[in-house]
């Protein structure tokens, strides 16, 4: 019998009605076809609201009660719609009440101390999944299926102490999950595990980064050695581009890990960027599927691109809200370590660089960063590097730009892709401001004015016949 980890995202469990649908899907598979372990996100919007209330609580007690009342009501509604048995409803309501009472204490504590550390923030936001998982558990139990729920911590997911963006200690985690969760799965019990949250070696709650339930699912998949990990979401699969930009966007039936990771990074909204890490080594396939359209097979992600998927270019994405930063200086030419100085300043100020391009003349580095970080990036570079006789003579920026990324594993070694892309852009009368292609050749990224981005994406999508996939 096949073993599968199924992860359900925030919209899939957004309302009681949707949770019912999730339980239907799980029970359908668990009743005859396979052994299922479930990972759940918080109800849609709840994680964001927990981040907000944590910040507010640091300043005043004022909003705490209204917040927890709204939270209580939202979950109570979900419980009454998702679960029909009165007894199970009561059981879940009690867990919910205990959790909310604890959250209230935590928030009040933050208010008294007037301090919000990454550690306490993780503790607060962990309540989203701690509230959703019992409801999903109750809804599955309602189908007369044996099931048990766990927090990520109780399931045995152990991470480093990088609060807010922790990574699993895989050996230790595998050992604990095999001890605590695997025996249930083998017996046909459905384990329901909170996504996103885990604990460090001291048992302190950590989270694995925004959108982290995907990561929990693949960690669990590897530890339980399952046949496939299914990411149930609200779209059919990974698309050739954003359907809001191009109406002819198509679902991609199959991708390699490398391609999917590339797309995750470029915001195709497919997955947590590090989620594929654990499954790649074990070669466990991942499938993206739509809970609202369960007859669709979705996008299958495996080691190799399947033979027969001949498309060279598979997807094109636009990344908005970015800015281009240019650092110029004749002093950088032929001076070992000069680039290191520039990146050191940015790194120390927690400014992530998304894309880099330099010419062999060495007198200029262009970078793409998040637009919201532009002010900080410019001022720190100016303070650190613009002193007289320094290596840098000028720092300039453009904040009305977007990155267009063209992706596909078979681009590697195929001649003429770049010329085709740039010809399309030129024919549309659009100027390219910066270009980067890593030697992996999986991806060509370039910068255009933001106002031209949508037109470029549409033109490239058409040129490579992505509407015919």
* Residues at the interface with Mg ion (CB under 5 A): 10, 41, 211
Sign of CA dihedral 461, 462, 464, 469: positive
**In the bound complex, what is the minimum distance in angstroms from residue 222's beta carbon to ligand ASP?**
18
**In the bound complex, what is the minimum distance in angstroms from residue 231's beta carbon to ligand ASP?**
10
End-to-end CA distance of the chain: 33
Long-range (24+ apart) CB contacts under 8 A made by 380-385 are: 380/345, 380/346, 380/349, 380/351, 381/325, 381/327, 381/342, 381/345, 381/346, 384/341, 384/345, 385/327, 385/329, 385/341, 385/342, 385/345
Closer by beta carbon to ligand ASP, 42 or else 166: 42
**In the bound complex, what is the minimum distance in angstroms from residue 450's beta carbon to ligand ASP?**
26
Q: Which residues of 234-273 are buried (b: 16+ CB within 10 A; e: fewer)?
A: ebbbbbbbbeebbeebbbbbbbbbbbbbbbbbbbbebbbb
What one-character DSSP code corresponds to residue 305? P
Cβ atoms of 91 and 85 closer than 8 Å: no
Cβ atoms of 240 and 200 closer than 8 Å: no
**In the bound complex, what is the minimum distance in angstroms from residue 108's beta carbon to ligand ASP?**
23
Closer by beta carbon to ligand ASP, 218 or else 256: 218
Closer by beta carbon to Mg ion, 41 or else 194: 41
Closer by beta carbon to ligand ASP, 15 or else 349: 15
Hey, what are 437's tokens? Answer: 């292609």
Cβ atoms of 277 and 212 closer than 8 Å: no
**In the bound complex, what is the minimum distance in angstroms from residue 51's beta carbon to ligand ASP?**
9
Closer by beta carbon to ligand ASP, 74 or else 376: 74
Closer by beta carbon to ligand ASP, 137 or else 446: 137
Name the site residues for ligand ASP (rule: CB under 6 A): 9-10, 41-42, 47, 128, 195-196, 210-213
Q: What are phi and psi of 11, to 5 degrees?
A: -75, -30
Q: Which residue's Cβ has the minimum distance to Mg ion?
A: 10
Closer by beta carbon to ligand ASP, 129 or else 311: 129
Closer by beta carbon to ligand ASP, 233 or else 258: 233
Hey, what are 458's tokens? Answer: 């549409």
What one-character DSSP code corresponds to residue 160? -
**In the bound complex, what is the minimum distance in angstroms from residue 206's beta carbon to Mg ion?**
17
Hey, what are 454's tokens? Answer: 């949508």
Closer by beta carbon to ligand ASP, 9 or else 408: 9
196 binds, among ligand ASP, Mg ion, none (CB under 5 to 8 A by kind): ligand ASP
**In the bound complex, what is the minimum distance in angstroms from residue 326's beta carbon to ligand ASP?**
33
**In the bound complex, what is the minimum distance in angstroms from residue 36's beta carbon to Mg ion?**
20
119 binds, among Mg ion, ligand ASP, none (CB under 5 to 8 A by kind): none
**In the bound complex, what is the minimum distance in angstroms from residue 299's beta carbon to ligand ASP?**
18
74 binds, among Mg ion, ligand ASP, none (CB under 5 to 8 A by kind): none
210 binds, among Mg ion, ligand ASP, none (CB under 5 to 8 A by kind): ligand ASP
419 Cβ neighbours under 8 A, 6+ residues apart: none
331 Cβ neighbours under 8 A, 6+ residues apart: 338, 389, 390, 391, 392, 393
Longest alpha-carbon distance in the chain: 76
Give the separation between CA 293 and CA 236, rounded to whole angstroms. 7
Q: What are phi and psi of 328, to 5 degrees?
A: -115, 145
**Which stretches does DSSP call E strand in 215-335?**
228-233, 254-256, 286-290, 299-302, 315-328
Hey, what are 385's tokens? Answer: 């590097």
Closer by beta carbon to Mg ion, 10 or else 156: 10
Place of tokens 């002819």: 248
Place of tokens 């640091």: 58
Closer by beta carbon to Mg ion, 41 or else 218: 41
292 Cβ neighbours under 8 A, 6+ residues apart: 21, 234
**In the bound complex, what is the minimum distance in angstroms from residue 259's beta carbon to ligand ASP?**
21
Sign of CA dihedral 331, 335, 341, 343: positive
**In the bound complex, what is the minimum distance in angstroms from residue 121's beta carbon to Mg ion?**
17
112 Cβ neighbours under 8 A, 6+ residues apart: none
């Amino acid at each position: 019998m096949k073993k599968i980890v199924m992860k359900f995202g925030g919209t899939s469990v957004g309302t009681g009605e949707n949770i019912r649908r999730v339980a239907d899907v799980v029970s359908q598979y668990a009743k005859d076809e396979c052994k299922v372990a479930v990972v759940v996100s918080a109800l849609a919007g709840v994680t964001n609201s927990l981040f907000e209330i944590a910040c507010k609580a640091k300043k005043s007690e004022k909003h705490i009660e209204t917040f927890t009342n709204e939270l209580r009501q939202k979950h109570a509604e979900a419980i009454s719609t998702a679960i029909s048995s009165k007894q199970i409803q009561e059981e879940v309501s009690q867990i919910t009440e205990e959790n909310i009472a604890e959250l209230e204490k935590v928030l009040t504590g933050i208010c008294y101390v007037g301090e919000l550390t990454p550690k306490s923030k993780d503790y607060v936001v962990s309540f989203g999944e701690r509230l959703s998982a019992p409801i999903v558990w109750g809804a599955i139990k309602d189908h007369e299926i044996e099931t048990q729920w766990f927090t990520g911590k109780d399931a045995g997911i152990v991470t480093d102490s990088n609060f807010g963006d922790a990574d699993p200690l895989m050996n230790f985690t595998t050992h604990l999950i095999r001890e605590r969760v695997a025996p249930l799965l083998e017996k046909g019990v459905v384990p329901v595990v909170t996504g996103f949250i885990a604990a460090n070696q001291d048992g302190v709650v950590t989270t694995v980064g925004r959108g982290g339930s995907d990561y929990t699912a693949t960690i669990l998949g590897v530890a339980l050695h399952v046949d496939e990990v299914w990411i149930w979401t609200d779209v059919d699969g990974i698309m050739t581009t954003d359907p809001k930009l191009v109406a002819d966007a198509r679902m991609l039936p199959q991708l390699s890990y490398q391609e999917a990771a590339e797309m995750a990074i470029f915001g195709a909204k497919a997955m947590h960027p590090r989620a594929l890490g654990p499954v790649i080594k074990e070669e466990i396939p991942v499938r993206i599927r739509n809970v609202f359209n369960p007859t669709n097979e979705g996008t299958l992600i495996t080691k190799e691109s399947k033979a027969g998927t001949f498309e060279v270019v598979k997807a094109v994405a636009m990344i908005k809200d970015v800015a281009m930063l240019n650092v110029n200086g004749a002093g950088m030419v032929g001076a070992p370590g000069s680039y290191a100085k520039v990146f050191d300043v940015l790194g120390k100020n927690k400014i992530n660089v998304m894309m880099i391009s330099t010419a062999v003349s060495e007198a200029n580095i262009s970078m793409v960063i998040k637009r919201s970080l532009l002010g900080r990036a410019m001022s720190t570079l100016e303070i650190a590097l613009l002193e007289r006789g320094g290596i840098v003579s000028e720092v300039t920026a453009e904040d009305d730009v977007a990155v267009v990324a063209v992706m596909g594993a078979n681009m590697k070694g195929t001649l003429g892709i770049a010329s085709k892309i740039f010809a399309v852009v030129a024919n549309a009368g659009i100027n390219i401001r910066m270009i980067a292609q890593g030697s992996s050749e999986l991806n060509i990224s370039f910068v255009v004015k933001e106002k031209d981005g949508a037109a470029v994406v549409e033109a490239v999508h058409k040129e490579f016949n992505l509407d015919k996939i």
